[in-house]
Amino acid sequence: MNIAKYIDHTLLKSSATKKDIKTLCEEALTYKFYSVCVNSFFVPYAKLLLKGSDVKVCATVGFPLGAVSTETKVFETKMAIDQGAEEIDMVLQVGMLKSNNFEMVYEDIKAVKACMGKIPLKVIFEISELSDFQIMKATQLSIKAKADFIKTSTGFSASGATLDALALMKKTAEGKAKVKASGGIRDLNTALQFIEAGADRIGTSSGVSIVEAQIAQH
């Protein structure tokens, strides 16, 4: 198994510089990661650096809080796609989910997906803020809104992905959406555990050390 093809090579810190993004893209080309995941501001630059390669550009939307208006998320999504984003990772409206305003959460995801055409949409839950019931509900709402992936975490909250939450998301999704594990996955053993548990994609800023560890084993 080539673990690099599972990895969205990620840099989402607010302090990320142009030089940092250049390094990220160069690493993605060297190690043949599935994509780079960047804040939407850096999409044009990442697209330029990865031109002619198989590495995709993934952009975050409404990141990291999810607490902007639906109209803002739609605008950011459209702009990111126009500038070359090939996947979108949006943060759902966590506060509205916790308020049991499920219709608003659904409409928020639906509106973003509706403006994307066939480009894959990943919906970020922030599992550390949610109960099991809320994780199940978020999964159901995401699938109803035609999301392609559900994703555990932003990596900016108290904790990241857990195997228990991944199992719950996978079970609830019943194969109708793929699952991305993200947040706190920093070594090969952890990445493999999540893949074995059913993760279709791994979001990590430690992609280089993970792939090098796999190479060293062989």
Q: Specify the DSSP class assigned to residue 92.
A: P
Instruction: Give Cα 3 distance to the centre of its chain.
Output: 17
Neighbours of 119 (CB within 10 A): 17
The 3-class secondary structure across 164-180, one letter per residue, is HHHHHHHHHHCCCCEEE
How many helices (H) and strands (E) are present in the chain, helices listed first?
9, 8
Active-site residue numbers?
Answer: 89, 151, 180
| 79: three-class secondary structure by DSSP | helix
**Which stretches of 20-98 are assigned E, i.e. beta strand?**
35-39, 56-61, 87-91
| 172: three-class secondary structure by DSSP | helix
Instruction: Give Cα 151 distance to the centre of its chain.
Output: 6
Residue 216 tokens, joined: 């060293």
Give the side-chain half-sphere CA count within 13 A for 63. Answer: 25
Task: State the Cα–Cα distance between residues 12 and 177, nearest whole angstrom.
Answer: 24
